[in-house]
């Protein structure tokens, strides 16, 4: 386990006159607690929008649960059939992530090929969209370096602003991530990610925040990058915030459940 975040970051920033902002360990702890309470199931669409507004859409099913050894997240592209793929991310208690990929085996109908996704491919766009494989997990909140910036308003929401930068042990293709977290819901509303190799700044905008069973989530996430025309959308059609998932729900060797098809 890594050492706890330093409690003394410097002088506390002011949210408003006579109102102090919590220290960074408090804000990070609340954000991590949200992730560590995950027990979610959702279905929706992953959409690529080109510069002319043309759309290419894929159906997906998503499951996420925090176990004693960290987060497991299973994402399956369910249609069209030619694009079917299953991804299993495991992020441990220190934020270290592994990604497995399962493809249908064309030589053996009904079987699949399972392998570990190499780190150099984490930055690839999922089915050519702006969402990389690495984007499926919120690993930046578990990086070694966290700084609380001046709070701001994003739209109508008062937000804490966290700048996350990786340490030498953090495996990521991003040089830094800045997250705007709504103070009322403790949920991100905007994220900026700077790619390490290109310096490109990717923008993630969260729409339609809603609460279900006491858990906040977004109904849509859009990602844009200045060097890529158009945008990509992750749209949630339906889901459950208290899915009661177990280990077997994340076994790539088991077939999909009916909810995933």
How many Å apart are CA 86 and CA 126, to the nearest integer?
11
Report pLDDT digits (tens) over 90-127: 999 888 999 999 987 777 777 788 899 999 999 999 99
Assigned domain for 196 exists: yes
Assigned domain for 62 exists: yes
Half-sphere exposure of 157 (CA within 13 A, CB side): 19
Taking CA atoms, 63 is separated from 38, 95, 104, 136, 251, in Å, by: 9, 18, 20, 11, 12
Assigned domain for 252 exists: no
Confidence (pLDDT) at 13? 31
Assigned domain for 8 exists: no
Assigned domain for 3 exists: no
Residue 101 is part of a domain; what is its CATH number? 2.50.20.10
User: Per DSSP, which regions of the chain are E strands?
Assistant: 14-16, 19-20, 39-49, 55-67, 70-79, 85-91, 97-104, 112-116, 145-154, 157-165, 174-182, 188-195, 201-207, 210-212, 215-217, 220-225, 228-240
Q: Structural domain tally of the chain?
A: 1
Assigned domain for 30 exists: yes
Assigned domain for 93 exists: yes
Assigned domain for 208 exists: yes
Report pLDDT digits (tens) over 184-196: 999 999 999 999 9
Q: Is 243 helix (H, G, I), strand (E, B) or coil?
A: coil
* Strand (E) or helix (H) holding 35: helix 24-36
Report pLDDT digits (tens) over 40-90: 999 999 999 999 999 999 999 999 999 999 999 999 999 998 899 999 999
Q: Range of 159's domain? A: 20-240
């Amino acid at each position: 386990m890594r050492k706890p975040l330093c409690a003394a970051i410097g002088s506390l920033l002011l949210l408003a006159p006579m109102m102090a902002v919590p220290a960074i360990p408090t804000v990070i702890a609340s954000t991590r607690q949200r992730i560590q309470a995950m027990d979610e199931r959702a279905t929706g669409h992953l959409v690529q929008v080109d510069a002319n507004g043309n759309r290419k859409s894929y159906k997906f099913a998503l499951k996420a649960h925090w176990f004693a050894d960290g987060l497991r997240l299973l994402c399956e592209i369910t249609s069209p059939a030619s694009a079917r793929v299953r991804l299993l991310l495991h992020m441990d208690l220190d934020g270290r992530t592994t990604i497995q990929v399962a493809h249908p085996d064309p030589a053996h109908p009904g079987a699949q090929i399972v392998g570990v996704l190499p780190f150099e491919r984490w930055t690839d766009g999922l089915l050519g969209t702006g969402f990389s494989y690495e984007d499926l997990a919120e690993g930046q909140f578990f990086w070694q370096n966290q700084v609380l910036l001046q709070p701001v308003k994003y739209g109508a929401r008062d937000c804490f602003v966290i700048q996350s930068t990786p340490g030498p042990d953090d495996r990521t293709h991003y040089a830094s991530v800045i997250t705007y977290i709504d103070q009322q819901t403790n949920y991100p509303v905007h994220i900026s990610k700077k790619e390490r190799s290109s310096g490109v700044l990717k923008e993630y905008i969260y729409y339609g925040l809603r609460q279900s069973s006491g858990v906040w989530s977004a109904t849509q996430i859009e990602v844009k990058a200045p060097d890529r025309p158009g945008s990509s959308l992750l749209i949630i059609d339906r889901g459950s915030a208290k899915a009661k998932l177990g280990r077997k729900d994340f076994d790539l060797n088991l077939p999909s459940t009916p909810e995933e098809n």
